[in-house]
Amino acid sequence: MDTRLRKLSHWASAQFVPVGQTTLSAADFVSVSDDASFRRYFRCPKLDQSIVFMDAPPDKEPLQDFLAIGNALFVAGVPTPEFIAVDIEAGFLALSDFGDRQLLGLVQDEPEAVMSTLSEVIGLLQNIARVDCVLPDYSEAMLRSEMDLFPTWYLTRLLGLTLTDEFWRLWQGLCDRLVASALAEPQVFVHRDFHSRNIMVPSKGALGLLDFQDAVRGPLSYDLVSLLRDCYVEYEPAMQQALVEGYRQIWLSDPRVQAMTPTAFYKSFENMGLQRHLKCAGIFSRLCLRDGKSRYLNDIPMVLKYIASVCKRQPELGEFYRWLQVFVLSDPLGRSA
């Protein structure tokens, strides 16, 4: 029996079913999406209003950060779900419903509108980056711990590689370079998962933003690279370059951006993407091996393509690229056996 769904149905009944009417049961709820975290989302077709119910186990996904950051975004005019009802102690939240259409579906179904759509999303992003909210810093320790998921979960546990001193020498140099690049950027509000599955496109109204609870104060280019080097959809390089340069122009009032040439800004963008994709390869591996969510393995080849292309373009990363060619790129999922 799904104990938490049963408890959620009782809570929803108390919140939304008038006294005297038949209460809801677990069977009345339909799963909305299967999240990469421990959170789950449901709808209840029996209710008159369209509501998304979040089940967030308090010991694994406490709601406090989600609520605080969501409120800060709402105050700043960023389109986030309305909090209709909440029980922090139980880990239940009722949210307004943005529907089912993600940005991912829009850019796949309407390729002729991709440039204009991404430009609109980047307009939203510049507002998000300026949100004033108390957030943890995207610190050196956090950047490094995220990258460490790559050798721990992807190289060692998924691929079964034995990592030598030569690898660790190359890895240390790579991480040092990426951390220095990230910390040299202007530090802004970073959503941290700003990609095509977390940006909703309702049939009416503005875009909708989800999954913002892990926000930090960090590098300016982080959310931009999450959008344009999306793990789930690939955009034309020339389009990416044009949008990155447009974003640089928006931020020219910042002295650190003003001091960067378009080439230097794009290199920072690529370095940030490399840091993120190393992390993502590790996370996707962990989701498969630890959590049994094997479908995320399907996203690793694109992530590896991003990693390899950046390393190949930068001469100073040439040694690491050659290591990848020998040990990883020919068989990124370790299935040669």
- List of domains in the chain: 3-96 (3.30.200.20), 103-329 (3.90.1200.10)
94 phi and psi angles, rounded to 5 deg = -105, 125
Dihedral of CA 15/18/23/27: which sign? negative
186-222: per-residue pLDDT in tens?
A: 999 999 999 999 999 987 667 899 999 999 999 999 9
Q: What is the mean pLDDT of residues 216-244?
A: 97
Calculate the alpha carbon distances from 75 to 26, 85, 296 in Å: 34, 18, 34
User: CA-to-CA distance for 337 and 334, rounded, in angstroms?
Assistant: 8
Query: Whole-prediction pTM value?
Result: 0.93
Q: How confident is the model at residue 337 (pLDDT cuts 50, 70, 90)?
A: very low
